[in-house]
Structure 1
Amino acid sequence: MMAIGEHKVCLLGDTGVGKSSILCRFAQDHFYHNISPTIEASFMTKTTPSGNYLQKFLMWDTAGQEQFHSLGGSPEGC
């Protein structure tokens, strides 16, 4: 049995910058030219092999709404 590493990813950013496009490209290996705007938040997973391990990514797309801005912290902390 392979060990599984689990990674939680939350995409944050302004509306319309491409968060959903990046997420779909990674999770589904497809780029959508006319993707619909995210409402509230969306969730996807992807499991990939890495050596003798499986890496599982749990990914949230936050829709760029004001209510999610606090998740990103302050720019000074970067």
Structure 2
Amino acid sequence: MNAARNESGQPRLPGMDATGGGNAKEPLQIRIPIGVKRRFKALAAMRGIEPNELFVEVWEHYEQTRTAKGEQGEQR
């Protein structure tokens, strides 16, 4: 089964418009351990990118590897 894909080739997620959310941004407020936050921000700085850009990279990698493993939805 071929999933619908957006212009950049990423799978189109249910509930998202045809642009995949475009460049619109909004805060994602989560609570994480202080050490994780510091390491995450430091890694972004070392790579010369903003933390939100690093998060998007990490998320896209997660989605790709999750899809490659054949996982479907949440398993709780």
Question: Shorter-chain TM-score: which interval?
Answer: under 0.3
**Higher relative helix content:** 2
Structure 2 length as normaliser, TM-score?
0.22
